[in-house]
Structure 1
Amino acid sequence: ASVPGNGHFELVQGAGGSLNGTTSFERTNYFETMPTHQLELALWLEADRMGSLLAALDDESMENQRDVVKNERRQRYDNVPYGTAFERLTALAYPEGHPYHHTPIGSMADLDAASLEDARTFFRTYYAPNNAVLSVVGDIDPEQTLAWVEKYFGTIPAHDGKQPPRDGSLPDIIGEQLREEIVEEVPARALMAAYRLPHDGTRECDAADVALTILGGGESSLLHNRLVRRDQTAVAAGFGMLRLAGAPSLGWLDVKTSSGVEIPAIEAAVDEELARFAAEGPTAEEMERAQAQLEREWLDRLSTVAGRADELCRFAVLFGDPQLALTAVRRVLDITAEEVQAVAAARLRPDNRAVLVYEPIAADDDENDESDENEGAEQ
């Protein structure tokens, strides 16, 4: 028996729960948060979706979902200032032909080209119990939960047609600075850059995370202090990280300039700060603050049932070990100042980045105080 139409959402919400799904470069994620006594309903619904969606996938549902994704694309990418930055930078940072050259949402042309048969083949291949991880977190009875999982998922057939993922490895360094300039209706000039960083699951990746936190993680960071506080050439300056296991991770620089400030001035200041950091390394106080910040972020993620379930799934899918989620904090706190300096010196260089420069269409002295905090990175 399959849940028709919007029934899945109605049943979860009627039971006092919430649900959603996400797709990133390396996994698709369905999740729901339900009152504990509704666990059986949640498992039945997820099994129903996995076991019967193929039969329900017809032209009407396909067109409906195509429209949903196109609309999401308009809202999140095409019709917001700097909205296509993430897509443009990943296309620059990962060369043509690389599996991560395209973002998961796809272009409008990709969305138009996808056929019902493509969707069915994809579903048949990937949407099977032997290619899925299920995590249940909460005040549950493990034996009863496993019995329900067996009851509802046990009859769904496995599928053996999945191809091994394409190789996403690349040299450590891009080897040149790749640049693109965009003239668009944006509220302020912006400098964005993506640096090629170590793969997730390595000590070097954790060290890079600490380095980016010191350099651009929040208002106590070096770049914020330099550009926003001291020079007052920017209204926002930050560094984020897109952790990836199947390809190099990306360090994500995003600077929105103050009115009238030219991009070369910003770029020179950024390079000066990065070069100084690579030469001198972090102070003990900077290390302590960044590690405390990352520890707090991790503990926040693990403190909710949804966050914990998600991290257990992520580490199980990408690294084959859900327990790694619970030791991630320890790994970050274990990183030394030497490791942070080493990864900054090796990777945060002008010849290892893709750069995007935004120039507003209008005269520069318009209302330029509005800063759009669109980090662009999908988790």
Structure 2
Amino acid sequence: MVQRRYSGRMDERFEIFLACAPGLETTLVGEAKAAGFGPLRPDAGGVAFDGGWPDVWRANLVLRGAARVLARIGGFPAVHLAQLDKRARKFPWGEVLRPDQGVRVEAISRKSRIYHGGAARERVERAISETLGAPVSDDGVRLLVRIEENLVSFSVDTSGEPLHRRGHKEEVGKAPMRETLAAMFLRECGYTGEEPVIDPMCGSGTFVLEAAEIAMGLLPGRTRRFDFERLASFDAAAWEAMKRGAARRETGLLFRGYDRDAGAVRMAGANAQRAGVDGTAVFACQPVSALERPEGEPGLVIVNPPWGARIGKPGPLHALHRSLGDVLKERFRGWRVGLVTPEAGLARATGLPFLPPGPPVAHGSLKIRLYRTNPL
């Protein structure tokens, strides 16, 4: 393999990797394909495709299920630290990184003669600081160095903060659902923004907010900043034009969230206001037993009930799930249901006619699954 060099052209192509929670790769493929990216190559923990810097910007802006967007900017073979040092000093860092922006290097090594990731990180840090002049700093742009079978590859984390941090949900309760996972679970339930959504145990409102944003055409990255804005390839005017190209649309639908915790309802309402969906996403304080079907066409009930592993106790949780199932079967005929839990027993306790569950999805130290029904 020859060391890769860049021309600096905006139309130059390289590999872009969309990272996601393991278990959601297939769903992310569907979203990325629908957004016009590809051809797509699914891999463990994400999806890869070839593109340019505008594709990097757009992926960060529009994809709801990606956790990060990595730009794989090149690499070279190296079998010892001296060789790594020499070739890293010849790498065209200035075509990607900027001398006035800090950089934070992380390195791992597998099945390679260079086996010490810390030593490799130090060599790359020194090469960048001494050839480009960019300082090494904890809040710098993250450069990932991977050494596998004596091949060194470099990737830049173009997102910065994880993409589930949309910038609107500033207040959260216990065991919050990440926005990226919520968006993918909505997608797996067949949600496209054209039907009402209800969450009877909404917490800080993640499912309801994501559903409302999708219906209104609001892009997930519309108000936050990204680390690609700190790279040499960034074009501020082109980026602003890209963001202006997405138009907000009106929807006659209402998206409802309920919770018996008044504090959670207050937080969800504040999050909706920051996201610009207040009035479309509405929240109220009530228990599951008070849940009623709204007038109009059926839609989707999606819920992330207490699991027991984080909040609540297993015994009462089975009773809660039975109550939820009874209410939905009695009052929500024609509606579909999606339920997220790590415990198959809790899903069974609802008595709902679930289809075979989705794959296990990594969520912190737990593996959660989505259980779905056809229309009740």
- Choose between structure 1 and 2: higher helix proportion: 1
TM-score relative to the length of structure 2? 0.27
